[in-house]
């Protein structure tokens, strides 16, 4: 099992991100085709996902318990950083209806999801070997981003994805000004 962190070739301006000692893979346009070159199971952490040692340990244990299942950890997506959100939500979604497409964000404690984000994800080697199939199934763009990957998994692998609530990564995609400004400093003296 490899643990890797994906980092965009160009980090967007004014974005928080993690600097650590994990093996890094630079990606362009959120394209995960590089996974097909890895002959191993992968725990993938995105560049703006922080994780504590004990959470990573717990996630590895879950992955070893179910080595053939794709698995994810929940994290918050902040409404101040993503267009269209009116409140924070937990990453990962349920399929409500396929046509017309209707999705719902998972609720706290939901044990599975249908569609996932790739902030903190375990991808078994057997699934990685099949990722090229996603290009044939879904052709709305030529890269393998998390949406394309998730829809391919939903339609072709067809398994609910376990969500591990005892693992709590932190998504650093939020603007600092969303919770901090000069008037807060005066309040605390």
How many C-beta atoms lie closer than 10 Å to residue 8's C-beta?
A: 16
Q: What is the pLDDT of residues 158-181, one digit of tens each?
A: 999 999 999 999 999 876 665 544
Q: What is the pLDDT of residues 106-159, one digit of tens each?
A: 999 999 999 999 999 999 999 999 998 887 776 666 778 888 899 999 999 999
- pTM summary value: 0.89
Reduce the DSSP state of residue 125 to 3 states and report it: helix
Q: Of 49, 71, 48, nearest to 59 (Cα)?
A: 71
Q: Which fold has domain 2-175?
A: Spore Coat Polysaccharide Biosynthesis Protein SpsA; Chain A (3.90.550)
The domain ranges of the chain are 2-175
């Amino acid at each position: 099992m490899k643990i890797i962190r994906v980092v965009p070739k160009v980090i967007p301006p004014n974005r928080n991100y993690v600097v650590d000692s994990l093996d890094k893979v630079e990606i362009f346009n959120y394209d995960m085709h590089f996974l097909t070159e890895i002959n191993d199971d992968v725990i993938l952490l995105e560049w703006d996902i922080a994780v504590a040692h004990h959470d990573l340990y717990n996630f590895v244990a879950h992955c070893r318990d179910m080595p053939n299942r794709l698995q994810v950890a929940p994290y918050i997506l902040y409404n101040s950083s993503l267009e269209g959100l009116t409140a924070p939500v937990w990453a990962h979604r349920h399929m409500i209806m396929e046509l017309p497409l209707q999705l719902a964000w998972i609720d706290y404690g939901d044990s599975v999801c249908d569609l996932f984000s790739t902030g903190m994800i375990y991808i078994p080697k057997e699934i990685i070997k099949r990722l090229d199939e996603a290009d044939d199934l879904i052709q709305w763009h030529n890269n393998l981003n998390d949406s394309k990957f998730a829809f391919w998994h939903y339609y072709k692998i067809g398994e609910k994805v376990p969500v591990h609530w005892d693992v709590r990564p932190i998504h650093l995609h939020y603007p600092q000004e969303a919770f901090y400004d000069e008037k807060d400093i005066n309040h605390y003296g």
